Chains A and B, each alone.
Chain A
Amino acid sequence: MNCEELKDLYELYAMGVVDAAEKRAIDEHLANSCPVCTPAVKQARRLVSSLALAAPPAEPPKLLRERVMDSVVPLPEKPTSVTWLTHAWATLAVLMLGAVIWFVFANQRLEMEMARLNRSVAEAKTANAELAARNQVLTSALALVILPEARQLAFGSSDRQPPRGRIWIHPDRGVLLLASNLPPAPAGKAYEMWVVPRGAPPLPAGLFNSDQQGFAAHVWPQPVNVAATSAIAVTLEQAAGAPAPTSAPIITAGL
């Protein structure tokens, strides 16, 4: 907008009632020290201020002067007010400090509770995984037991020392071993099952352990040449297992 377009707006601008676009236009002219708009706006401010005198005269209450003076003139001394203010600020500061401390402790408690819940969740997941694995073993075991092609072997029944139990062997489903009185393997050790072919070294058939009650269930879900197998055996090995037996068999079940 040029100065000619703005000339009717100077007083409205001074009153603060122009619209945004008009205000921006005049602001730009003033910012650029426009030789037309700058003095014209000064004159407009004077005229607008004069309009205050168009208000009908009204007499302010007498007490208003005292009130104004009290509000702007710092009184010599108001110790009680100062003391009150000081105490108020001190109280506020203490309250705020207390709030901060409470928040910090509450936050710590919350974090501890969250950590505990996270641990519980992790434990629950582990337990769930163990249950799922055991369920899989039992499902496989059940399938092996009920199949008519499965061959059943017993072990330990004539031994003086346990363990005792049964083995099912199936050409497609593999081998199921159920044992009782089998003490848990020592730390760092595990039980390893072997499929022993006729005239050949034993083949590893998985690691397992027994529970605190001495019960063990282990499935080796791989096809087995039953006709070529002479025995199923179990040895105590390192926890990571071994490619060949390193100790005497604890369990042996011949076919």
Chain B
Amino acid sequence: MILTIVSPDFPDAGLFEGLRRRDPQAMARLYDTFGQPVYSLIYRIVRDTGVAEDLVQETFLRVWNQAHAIDPSRGSAAAWVLTVARNRAIDWLRSTAGKAHRNLWESYETERPGNFVDVEKVAINADQARRVREAMAKLDENQRSVIELAYFEGLSQSEMAERMGQPLGTVKTWVRSALKNLREELAAP
């Protein structure tokens, strides 16, 4: 199971081939492409620069070590790299909350390279970032909160209901409507 580099911002199909060959230049280009968004994502989740730096390093090390599972002919490498980064941060967050054990298997399952075969490209550029932020801004406060709690804090709907002090049914309604809006706003062009 192999991933493809099809994003316009990540057009070099030879990059992962280079990673498989353990080519340092390929790793440098990978960091230059993903370093900033990966760091931003992890820092948003952990809110600590030192921890964020450690987790960025761990993220790229994991990508480096799993490059053999990536085929540059299909799928989204960007989606996979960002998922690996998020999982490292969520794992750390849960470990500090005493919930690491539950998350270990979930992280592994959500970031398997095979999951990203045939996933449409994810553009990593300023236009796409603006588009996502605008889509989030269009959500009402509750909808935005539940998406942020799920994505940036890794909470389930039950945990969100407990955190927000709201009935589970209400939270599910907010989640459902938020995701519907985001799908419409962020549908692949």
Contacts and interface: CB of A to CB of B under 8 A. Distances in A.
Given A60-B36, A64-B53, A16 B106 contact: yes
B70 interface: no
Q: Which 7 A-B pairs have the closest CB atoms?
A: A55-B44, A49-B79, A60-B39, A16-B106, A53-B129, A73-B24, A53-B132
A109 interface: no
A64 B39 contact: yes
For the complex, would chain B's binding face be called helix, strand, loop or mixed by DSSP majority? helix
Contact of B56 (A11, A64, A74): A64
Interface residues of B, number: 68
Contacts of A119: none
A199 interface: no
Contacts of B22: 73-74
A45 B83 contact: yes
B188 interface: yes
Nearest to B127: A53
A46 B90 CA distance: 18
Contact of B110 (A14, A54, A59): A14
Interface residues of A, number: 37
Interface of B: 22, 24, 27-28, 31-32, 35-37, 39-41, 43-45, 49, 52-53, 56-57, 60-61, 64, 76, 78-79, 82-83, 85-87, 90, 103, 106-107, 109-110, 115-116, 118-122, 124, 128-129, 132-133, 136, 147, 150-152, 154-159, 172, 175-176, 179, 182-183, 186, 188
A74 B65 CA distance: 12
17 contacts: A12-B156, A15-B110, A16-B107, A16-B154, A17-B155, A19-B158, A43-B120, A46-B121, A49-B119, A51-B136, A52-B41, A55-B152, A56-B44, A59-B36, A61-B53, A68-B61, A69-B28
Contacts of B122: 46, 49-50
Nearest to A59: B36
A12 B157 contact: yes
A67 interface: yes
A74 B23 CA distance: 10
Interface of A: 8, 11-12, 14-19, 42-43, 45-61, 64-65, 67-69, 71-74
Contact of A49 (B45, B78, B109, B152): B78
Contact of A68 (B31, B158, B159, B172): B31
A173 B135 CA distance: 113
Nearest to A8: B176
A46 B41 contact: no
Contacts of B40: 52, 55-58
A46 B27 contact: no
A40 to B, nearest CB: 10
A18 B76 CA distance: 23
Contacts of A58: 36, 39-40, 43-44, 52
A134 to B, nearest CB: 68
